[in-house]
Structure 1
Amino acid sequence: MGKKLKDIETPQIDDTASRKEKKKNKKKKQQQQEEAEIEEQQASGKQAKRKLDQAQLGGEATENGSRKKDKKKNKKQQEENGGKEEANGGGVEAVNGKENGGVREESGSKEGGEVDKVLVTGKDADDSKYRPLKSFAEAKLPEKVLECCQGFKTPSPIQSHSWPFLLDGRDFIGIAKTGSGKTLAYGIPAIMHVMSKRKGKMERGQIPLCLVLAPTRELADQIFVVLRDAGEPNGIRSVCVYGGTPKGPQIASLKSGVDIVIGTPGRLKDLIEMEVCRLKDVSYVVLDEADRMLDMGFRQEVQHILSKTASPRQMLMFSATWPLDVHNLAKDHMDPNPVKVVVGSEDTAANHDVLQIVEVWIPTVQHVIEDRLRDDRLLALLEKYHKSQKNRVIVFALYQKEAERLEGMLRRSGWKVVGIHGAKSQEQRTKSLSLFKTGGCPLMVATDVAARGLDVPDVEVVINYSFPLTTEDYVHRIGRTGRAGKKGVAHTFFTHHNKGLAGELVNVLREAKQIVPESLLKFGTHVKKKESKLYGAHFREISADAPKAKKITFNSDDED
């Protein structure tokens, strides 16, 4: 009672044919609905993709807009973003250029066809006046200043991106791999800085205007050679100071007048305290290999030296990696929002022009036997890579005693070899390096003292007899080959003693698209996280116009 008509059950007719027909119709109807839903989803997907494409291109065209209209709007947007820059034989190509809020993301191409991603951040990084250079002519510098660049067709990515900022006096952070042309990236602007200040006047006893700090004697000497050769035609005088040699000649060079001082922190601090090196007029400061400098414990010396330079000054930091310590150092001594150019990645990444071969050694009961086996394998590799005894090969050892033993073993085995390590005097190290560079003795055994700063373009092979203490040092070691666009080989022995670095090494190999040995994966691929996926990195770069933090205090009256 009270039921509606549609709620009253009707008797079912037992008609088999009718039931089958109804079932068939129902199934057909469901199939049609499903097809309709799929078509609707596809249409929605196409519409969403079309809108996404329009948003990426900066267009506001509707679905009914013509291709011509879309093309016109895209072209207009590209013009606003600076357009597309095409590289001619190794310059810069802004293929996927993104410019907003002081960020510019581009691609720097090389002659070999590979492309390095370039990320530019900082205040006014997207300003059109800081456009990267496609040629040396675009820099509009005197011919004499660019004489040192005659052997290159176009600026390297770090040079093409840094010069517009540095020539404008901006504080600068450069992250790029070894062998990327960093020395001239800051060296050319340093020469221009001196020329603008001196105005052609060179006086005896003048104090320097530029300072370059380097972590090792080898790197300091390498920088000195580049800046000396580039500066002398322009009347710019450079002096190099480092420990391990008598101070007398260095003091005499400083007293005779200098424009650019290159030195290691320890010796430079000593000369400052002796009042023979005055930095009060230094207004252009470069920290090269800043990460290595802090790793070696030079923080206090660096702080002391920087306190003796002029204020204000132009501050530059170049490094292959960007750890937290270096970030904090930059924060203490640079503008709040300096320009930062990253060529490739801030993470540890190897040169892609180097073929990396890793041999994993299974542990043995007696280490002496293991060393003998490795010695035999090293001799076999030298027969393979250094048979002509003309091409340059570096064998890296971890400690100086190991380097001494290897040097002696190779000599007894009939190989002509030189060595560079801490047990040798500076005079011996300089002589060894000279013989290696000139080809008089193209086989060298070295510790990590030569991993940074050794710039010999024709090193074909690096052999890591023992793995270094960090993956960063591994990257720097193998970076001694494959320089200036050439190819190289790095052959590495990896033992169970190094298993804690297996995960990082796997990542380096994979990033460079190298073969990862199965035996290496057995050590595990765990890597200590430097960044949380949920919370991000341990620090964040804050823009100059960010609101200041406010201190809030509470007392008992505020509590309920």
Structure 2
Amino acid sequence: LAQASSIQPSLGARALILSTAMGEEEGGPVWGDDVWQDDEKVRTIAGEAYDPWKTWDICCGPWKFPNGLMQFLIDAGFKCPTPIQAHTWPVLMDGKDVIGVAKTGSGKTLGYLLPGYIKVKREEMKSDFACDHSTGPAMLVMAPTRELCQQIYEESDRFGKPAQIKTACVFGGAPRQQQVRSLYGGPHCVVATPGRMNDFLKDGSCKISRCVYLVLDEADRMLDMGFEPQIRELARFLPENRQTALFTATWPREVRQVAETLTKSPTHIQVGSSDAQTTNADITQHIVKIRSESDKMRHLEDEIFPMLQTSGGSALIFTKTKRAAAGMYATLGRAGAPIVALHGDMEQRDRDHSLWAFKQGKAKVLVATDVAQRGLDIKNVQFVVNY
């Protein structure tokens, strides 16, 4: 379930800072009974508190999830809901707004998708309700980056099919015509970046006047990237009686202000600390003092890469600029390293191929700008290097 949520270093992974740290990397939850070891850290900060749905049996019943959907999750090998799911599901299924503060890797993607599916199916039972081009989708999920949108789309496509939920995905940097066709196909759910969605709203390619369920995923990241004006503009097209779920890894003042504007009497649920500087306990951090720029590359080649060859793991290297990412890719590529790059100047198909190769283990090193800093599901990452 949570595999759409974060870059997931394996337990005991190392984060190496070779210069000023660019950000934290979050590890995913362990999917078993011990997922509830941190239950005491789940708090309802504001709004009505609900009893958490800690087991699949509790999740089923009248006005809850259908047995078939829960059985689908059980058959996939998941033992129980994660804390963020268990605490947000009863609130969302009751039609209330939610603010969820939780680290990436907490399972929040299905935390908001599954209640949205049920909301859509309930609306479909009304005689005057339909998802088509004239009305637009009933469910809108906003995310900050193309890669995260595609990842959410893949999860929605997978888990929405049993409920006959059709999903479309729109984002910048890809051909508009193909995305417009997907919108004309009458999807129940649209996953989008704020900029591209606003473009489609303004030119009439998409309408959201009947949207009953809005999600802002990685809200803090969207604001960091300067999307607040687009988010506020988009809100003008939404109906007042919608349900809203806002998820964020941190809870700064800017996010609080947006949440106050977009939500109504929300239940505010916090898993763990809301401090942006809180470090994931699954990651061992090391600070390596470097004398010169050339010493950075030498340390990678002499220290990290040999350990990767021995362990069979992979390394994710963050650079500050697109130029630095391209330069490192060229340098290490000439040295024969199995490396791929990911940055904003690349064509979308090349970005997709880089992610695919890294996830499949075809490439052992991914050098990237902060486009991949949060929200992506990449397993078996042994080293995260802030270069």
Dislocated runs of 4+, deviation >6 Å: 200-203
**Larger gyration radius, structure 1 or structure 2:** 1
Q: Given that residues 389 and 442 in structure 1 are in contact (C-alpha distance below 8 angstroms), is that contact kept between their aligned partners in structure 2?
A: no
Structure 2 residue 172 is the aligned partner of structure 1 residue 243: yes
1:134 counterpart residue number: 54
Shift of 1:458: 2.6
Q: Which has the higher contact order (CA 8 A, sep 6+)?
A: 2
Amino acid at match of 1:222: Q
Trace 1:502-517 onto structure 2 (pairs within 5 A). Answer: none
1:492 counterpart residue number: none
Q: Given that residues 144 and 234 in structure 1 are in contact (C-alpha distance below 8 angstroms), is that contact kept between their aligned partners in structure 2?
A: no
Q: Given that residues 143 and 149 in structure 2 are in contact (C-alpha distance below 8 angstroms), is that contact kept between their aligned partners in structure 1?
A: yes
2:233 counterpart residue number: 304
Alignment partners' CA distance in 1, 2:104 and 2:131 = 36
1:270 counterpart residue number: 199
Alignment partners' CA distance in 1, 2:209 and 2:106 = 31
Q: Which deviates the most, 158-167 or 440-449?
A: 440-449
Shift of 1:333: 1.8
2:117 counterpart residue number: 191
1:526 counterpart residue number: none
Q: Given that residues 390 and 439 in structure 1 are in contact (C-alpha distance below 8 angstroms), is that contact kept between their aligned partners in structure 2?
A: no
Q: Deviations over 1:10-47 (max 9, x none)?
A: xxxxxxxxxxxxxxxxxxxxxxxxxxxxxxxxxxxxxx
Q: Given that residues 131 and 138 in structure 2 are in contact (C-alpha distance below 8 angstroms), is that contact kept between their aligned partners in structure 1?
A: no
From 80, 83, 88, the equivalent of 1:154 is 80
Alignment partners' CA distance in 2, 1:403 and 1:344 = 33
Trace 1:88-127 onto structure 2 (pairs within 5 A). Answer: 110=35, 113=37, 117-125=41-49
Change (3 A) 1:246 1:148: farther
SS state of the match for residue 332, structure 2?
Answer: helix
Q: Given that residues 385 and 461 in structure 1 are in contact (C-alpha distance below 8 angstroms), is that contact kept between their aligned partners in structure 2?
A: no
Amino acid at match of 1:405: G
Shift of 1:334: 1.4
Alignment partners' CA distance in 2, 1:266 and 1:279 = 15
Shift of 1:221: 0.9
Structure 2 residue 189 is the aligned partner of structure 1 residue 260: yes
Shift of 1:350: 2.0
Shift of 1:204: 5.8
2:16 counterpart residue number: none
Q: Given that residues 131 and 188 in structure 2 are in contact (C-alpha distance below 8 angstroms), is that contact kept between their aligned partners in structure 1?
A: no
Q: Given that residues 219 and 255 in structure 2 are in contact (C-alpha distance below 8 angstroms), is that contact kept between their aligned partners in structure 1?
A: yes
Q: Given that residues 210 and 261 in structure 1 are in contact (C-alpha distance below 8 angstroms), is that contact kept between their aligned partners in structure 2?
A: yes
1:291 counterpart residue number: 220
Structure 2 residue 338 is the aligned partner of structure 1 residue 409: no
Q: Deviations over 1:303-355 (max 9, x none)?
A: 111111122111111000001011011111211x3101110011121221112
Q: Cα RMSD over matched residues?
A: 2.0
Shift of 1:182: 0.8
Percent identity at matched positions?
Answer: 37
- Runs of 5+ in structure 1 lacking a partner? 1-88, 92-108, 363-369, 466-560
SS state of the match for residue 194, structure 1?
Answer: helix
Q: TM-score, normalised to structure 1's length?
A: 0.59
1:455 counterpart residue number: 377
Structure 2 residue 285 is the aligned partner of structure 1 residue 372: no
Q: Deviations over 1:430-478 (max 9, x none)?
A: 111111112222321111100122112332321222xxxxxxxxxxxxx
Trace 1:448-527 onto structure 2 (pairs within 5 A). Answer: 448-465=370-387
Q: Given that residues 90 and 156 in structure 1 are in contact (C-alpha distance below 8 angstroms), is that contact kept between their aligned partners in structure 2?
A: no
1:143 counterpart residue number: 67
2:355 counterpart residue number: 433
Q: TM-score, normalised to structure 2's length?
A: 0.85
From 226, 246, 261, the equivalent of 2:155 is 226
